[in-house]
Amino acid sequence: MSDRARRNRAAQQRARNLRRAMIAGLAVVLVLVVVIVAVSSRGDSEAAGPQLSELGQVGKETAVRRSCVGCHGRSGEGGAGNSGPKWVGLYGSTVTLDDGTTVVADRDYLIEAIVDPHAKQVAGYRQKMPVDSIPEADVLAIVQYIQELATPTPTTASGA
């Protein structure tokens, strides 16, 4: 092999190595961008919600596990298509029932609404909450979560 051929081969090898290094560098930058976006998005969504107590966090996890979030929203914001009342700001608010009466969404009301959801049906929600045998500890954890989703000052809500 001639000296010229060796130099060409060495130059081609350097060019391939440079391309590989550039591709690897771009891949690292891309991964870093994805991680930064994911972390910043996660931080924003967590910052939007309240700081939960240990029992409140258990209540949130219980609501996910028991599929309550399907109608009441993943963060208590209410279900799509008016399928379930929102929990954010519910605690301490006034709730209008199907019969036109109102109740304050206090701890006792929330427990009753979960244990016997048809006892006091919320006005405006056609989809009825399923009656399910929920252990008392789960009920109390969910109620704590709903309490912690309350706004700083009580507001009037139209749902439980």
CA-based R_g, the chain, Å? 27
Which one, of 126, 139, 138, lies nearest residue 79 by Cα? 126
Is the pLDDT at 15 greater than 90, yes or no?
A: yes
Sort 149 into a burial class: Cβ within 10 Å, 0-12 / 13-18 / 19+. buried
Which one, of 75, 73, 74, 93, lies nearest residue 83 by Cα? 73
Is the pLDDT at 31 greater than 90, yes or no?
A: no
Tell me the pTM.
0.63
Whether the CB-CB separation of 84 and 71 falls below 8 Å is answered with yes
Looking at the domain that runs over 54-148, which CATH code has it been given? Answer: 1.10.760.10
Which backbone phi and psi does 118 adopt, to 5 degrees? Answer: -95, 0
Q: Supply the mean pLDDT for the chain.
A: 83
Whether the CB-CB separation of 78 and 159 falls below 8 Å is answered with yes
Whether the CB-CB separation of 90 and 149 falls below 8 Å is answered with yes
The fraction of the chain above a pLDDT of 90, given in percent, is: 45
Position 103 scores a pLDDT of 95
The fraction of the chain above a pLDDT of 70, given in percent, is: 82
Whether the CB-CB separation of 90 and 105 falls below 8 Å is answered with yes
CA distance 154 to 115: 24
The predicted model gives 116-125 an average pLDDT of: 85
